[in-house]
């Protein structure tokens, strides 16, 4: 986990709760991303830097400093031994070489010349990165090799996540319309609702180009969606606020059950639910009389099977490992 106030990377034993400081960084840590080899990259808004951290030894290496505006969400893709960091830099999108720290491309403008504001999530899959912003209702498709914007899609209703499929269409999780939407055609103008009447679609994971799983936070469901027919099958029910979802190497679904303060594993074939870690500091409540924070709890799974879950209460990342 990350203690943003103290600037510490802390390792927590998920069974005993025992903690140890794995690395001492600077305060004001903001976000983390994990690459395919379980290396950790940390962005820091105080000095506009990104550091690489070895979670086992605590060794740190400065990747970049002073060239970013306000680094927030970051994603990592591993190509061989090289890592590329994808940064949602509030008013810009940037790519950073994980070895040299070189900013290889900076994009501050949409394809139509309008500044992109507040990219909230970055999803890297294959040769593409997809940025989405529920704040501005936009989805941006970027070529991962060149860093150039290929498409800028407008008019979505609170898109919380998006991913490009092999046929070139983009699947978008729309909280605002309670739908899973597929955008295709020239500039993504053809919009088709794959499935509607979803009760709070927050988390989205695609296992292949025919199947997606979504969390329905308001109804306590994890549902399987056939992308061809739009048929929905409930995989697990009676959950308490499921949000972030990821696919583990063994085919299990890993879900942050926020209202229950735990992370669970779901067998998509049987629906069997297994608690992996409980009593977690997740699910930041809004102030009395105000709107929800709209900050979903994220879940990721490394190539080794290590699970990472974000804490919006402690501004931290926890790791969960099977012993």
112/126: higher pLDDT: 126
What is the predicted pLDDT for the residue at 284?
76
pTM above 0.85, yes or no: no
Amino acid 185: pLDDT: 92
Looking at the predicted structure, is the pLDDT value of residue 320 above 70?
A: yes
List Cβ neighbours of 129 (8 Å cut-off, separation of 6 or more): 75, 86, 122, 123, 141, 142, 144
- Our measurement of the distance from residue 26's CA atom to the centroid of its chain's CA atoms, rounded to an integer in Å, reads 23
- Model confidence at 210, pLDDT cuts 50, 70, 90, reads very high
Residue 171 resides in a domain:
no
pLDDT tens-place string over residues 35-86: 666 777 776 655 556 677 776 666 666 555 545 554 444 455 666 766 565 6
Interval 264-296: pLDDT, tens: 999 999 999 999 999 998 887 766 655 566 677
3-state secondary structure of 226: strand
| Mean per-residue pLDDT, 102-114 | 47
Half-sphere exposure of 199 (CA within 13 A, CB side): 14
The parent domain of residue 245 ranges over 199-323
* Residue 274, both tokens: 């297994």
d(CA 128, CA 85): 13
pLDDT at 150 > cutoff 70: yes
Number of domains in the chain: 1
Least confident of 6-20, 147-161, 174-188, 271-285: 6-20
Considering the domain boundaries, does residue 248 fall inside one?
yes
Residue 182 lies in a domain: no
Characterize the bridge pairing of strands 103-107 and 82-88. unpaired
**Does 278 reside within a domain?**
yes
Q: Is the pLDDT of residue 110 over 50?
A: no
Which CATH number covers residue 299? 2.120.10.30
């Amino acid at each position: 986990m990350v203690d943003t106030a103290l600037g510490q990377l802390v390792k927590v034993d998920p069974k005993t709760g025992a903690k140890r400081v794995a690395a001492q960084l600077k305060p004001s840590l903001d976000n983390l991303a994990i690459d395919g080899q379980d290396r950790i990259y940390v962005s820091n808004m105080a000095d506009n830097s990104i550091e690489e951290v070895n979670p086992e030894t605590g060794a740190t290496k400065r990747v970049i400093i002073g060239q970013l505006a306000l680094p927030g969400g970051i994603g990592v893709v591993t190509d061989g031994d090289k890592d590329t960091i994808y940064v949602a830099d509030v008013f810009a999108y940037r790519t950073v070489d994980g070895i040299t720290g070189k900013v290889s491309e900076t994009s501050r403008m949409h394809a139509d010349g309008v500044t992109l504001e507040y990219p909230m999530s970055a999803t890297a899959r294959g040769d593409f990165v997809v940025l989405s912003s529920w704040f501005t209702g936009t989805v941006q498709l970027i070529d991962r090799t060149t860093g150039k914007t290929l498409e800028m899609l407008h008019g979505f209703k609170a898109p919380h996540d998006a991913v490009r499929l092999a046929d070139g269409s983009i699947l978008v999780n729309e909280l605002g319309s309670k739908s899973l939407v597929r955008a295709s055609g020239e500039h993504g103008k053809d919009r088709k609702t794959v499935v509607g009447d979803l009760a709070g679609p927050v988390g989205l994971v695609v296992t292949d180009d025919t199947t997606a799983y979504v969390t329905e936070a308001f109804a306590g469901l994890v549902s399987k969606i056939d992308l061809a027919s739009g048929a929905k099958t409930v995989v697990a029910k009676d959950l308490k606020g499921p949000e972030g979802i990821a696919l583990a190497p063994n085919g299990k679904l890993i879900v942050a059950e926020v209202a229950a303060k735990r992370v669970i594993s779901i067998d998509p074939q049987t629906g069997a639910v297994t608690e992996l870690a409980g009593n977690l500091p997740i699910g930041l409540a809004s102030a009395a009389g105000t709107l929800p924070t709209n900050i979903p709890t994220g879940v990721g799974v490394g190539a080794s099977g290590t699970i990472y879950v974000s804490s919006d209460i402690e501004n931290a990342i926890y790791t969960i490992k099977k012993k």
